[in-house]
């Protein structure tokens, strides 16, 4: 087991190297010269040349890539071309916002998805089943951008129930400890007795989390349904029924427990893809996380920042994948790693 884990961890490096190389090449071959963006209206050829020299953009590609990898290994991803701040600082200061949004989105998606999936499986071929699956189809195919704007229009503008964007209202003052605002606002509540910040934080996170989790909800629902259906037909479920157990116990204890394995896999994988999907969601809702940072970096042709954010997303993705694989071994007694 341990040997397997170590082998898997060593395998992460070539993957990340490949991702870095790909991103690097795409950026440097296809994007516009960032110097014209940095210098703005008065970018003369001489000034652009001087700036390219200063930023090291004139070095051969392999040298630039070498610098980047060399820095990345030591945890230095360079400085943003625009803000002049270290890329690692830019990313770490925004990472909590993205993690918080992703976790809440995944939590909502799991609760919703598993519930819908169970109902669908138990009432297979009923109207309810068809409706749920149609809903799931819609959820998967709905463009995040469109869904986000629709939500803002309905719930924030027309009904005025929820705020349109950001993580916290400007009028709310809160001391930040962890940068996870849900945790911070709870601490704030205990310290000051003022729970307004928690309410405000929750109201801000609902819409982006639902929109971000929409497609995951659908994926999880469909996985739950098919996995449940497979288990329901197994002999031991029939045995459980024959023993006279209540339908509830049969479904929740015997069936769901064994159906959970593929569902957990899907949830784990969704976590990785949600981090990617956060780019659009965060941009629409002005959510100051890594996603909107990525969007801004691409928009500005800010090479170091794009490389940093993509590398981080890839790293999170493969690590989550690994964790999911390992979870298998814990949960499923049939799987053995040699």
Given 7, 13, 21, 33, the residue binding other proteins (CB under 8 A): 33
**Residue 148 · residue 283 · CB < 8 Å:** no
Across-strand partners of 79? 86
CA distance 248 to 230: 17
Q: At what angle do helices 87-122 and 290-299 cross, to 10 degrees?
A: 120
Least distance from C-beta 127 to other proteins, angstroms? 35
Q: Is 166 in the site for other proteins (CB under 8 A)?
A: yes
Judged by CB under 8 A, the residue of 54, 123, 134, 191 near other proteins is 54
Query: Contact between 211 and other proteins (CB under 8 A)?
Result: no
Nearest distance, CB of residue 117 and other proteins, angstroms: 19
286 binds other proteins (CB under 8 A): yes
> Binding other proteins by CB under 8 A: which of 43, 142, 202, 206?
43
Q: Where are the alpha helices (DSSP H) in 31-153?
A: 34-39, 45-55, 61-73, 87-122, 127-141, 144-151
Residues 303-332 that bind other proteins (CB under 8 A): 323, 326-327, 330-331
Q: Which long-range contacts (CB under 8 A, 24 or more apart) does 54-60 make?
A: 55/81, 57/33, 57/303
Determine which residue in the list 42, 243, 248, 334 makes contact with other proteins, applying CB under 8 A.
42
φ and ψ at residue 39, rounded to 5 degrees: -85, -15
We find the least distance from the C-beta atom of residue 126 to other proteins, in angstroms, to be 32
By residue count, the chain amounts to 338
Applying CB under 8 A, among 21, 50, 134, 252 the residue interacting with other proteins is 50
Residue 44 binds other proteins (CB under 8 A): yes
By the rule CB under 8 A, 275 interacts with other proteins: no
Distances (CA, A) of 199 to 109, 184, 188: 21, 12, 12
Contact 221, 183 (CB under 8 A): no
Nearest distance from C-beta of residue 128 to other proteins, angstroms: 30
Q: Let me know: does 262 contact 227? Beta carbons within 8 Å.
A: yes
| Contact with other proteins (CB under 8 A) among 4, 8, 83, 262 | 83
Residue 47 touching other proteins (CB under 8 A)? yes
> In this structure, are residues 218 and 147 in contact, taking their beta carbons and an 8 Å threshold?
no
CB of 154 to other proteins, least distance (A): 12
**Cβ–Cβ < 8 Å for 12, 317:** no
- List of residues contacting other proteins (CB under 8 A): 32-33, 36-48, 50-51, 53-55, 79, 81-85, 90, 92-96, 99, 149, 152, 156-157, 160, 163-179, 283-284, 286, 288, 292-293, 296, 301, 323, 326-327, 330-331
């Amino acid at each position: 087991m341990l040997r397997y884990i170590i082998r898997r961890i060593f395998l992460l490096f070539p993957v990340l190297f490949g991702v870095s190389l790909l991103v690097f090449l795409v950026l440097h071959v296809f994007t516009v010269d960032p110097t014209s963006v940095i210098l703005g209206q008065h970018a003369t050829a001489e000034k652009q040349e001087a700036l390219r020299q200063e930023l090291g953009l004139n070095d051969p590609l392999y040298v630039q890539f070498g610098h980047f990898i060399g820095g990345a290994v030591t945890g230095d991803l360079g400085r943003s071309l625009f803000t002049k701040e270290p890329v690692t600082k830019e990313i770490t200061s925004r990472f909590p916002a993205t993690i918080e949004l992703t976790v809440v989105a995944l939590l909502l998606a799991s609760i919703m998805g598993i519930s819908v999936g169970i109902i669908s499986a138990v009432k297979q071929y009923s109207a309810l089943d068809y409706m749920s699956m149609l809903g799931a189809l819609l959820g998967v195919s709905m463009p995040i951008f469109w869904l986000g704007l629709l939500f803002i229009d309905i719930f924030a503008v027309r009904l005025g129930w929820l705020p349109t964007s950001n993580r916290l209202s400007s009028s709310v003052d809160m001391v930040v400890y962890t940068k996870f605002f849900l945790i911070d606002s709870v601490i704030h509540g205990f310290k000051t007795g003022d729970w307004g910040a928690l309410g405000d934080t929750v109201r801000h996170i609902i819409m982006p989390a639902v929109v971000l989790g929409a497609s995951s909800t659908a994926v999880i629902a469909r996985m739950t349904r098919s996995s449940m259906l497979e288990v329901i037909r197994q002999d031991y479920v029939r045995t459980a029924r024959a023993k006279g157990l209540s339908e509830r116990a049969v479904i929740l204890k015997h069936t769901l427990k064994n159906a959970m394995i593929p569902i957990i896999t899907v949830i784990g994988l969704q976590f990785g893809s949600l981090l990617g999907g956060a780019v659009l969601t965060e941009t629409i809702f002005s959510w100051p996380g890594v996603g909107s940072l990525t969007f801004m970096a691409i928009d500005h042709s800010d090479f170091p920042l794009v490389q940093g954010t993509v590398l981080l997303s890839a790293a999170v993705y493969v690590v989550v994948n690994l964790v999911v694989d390992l979870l298998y071994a814990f949960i499923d007694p049939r799987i053995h790693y040699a």
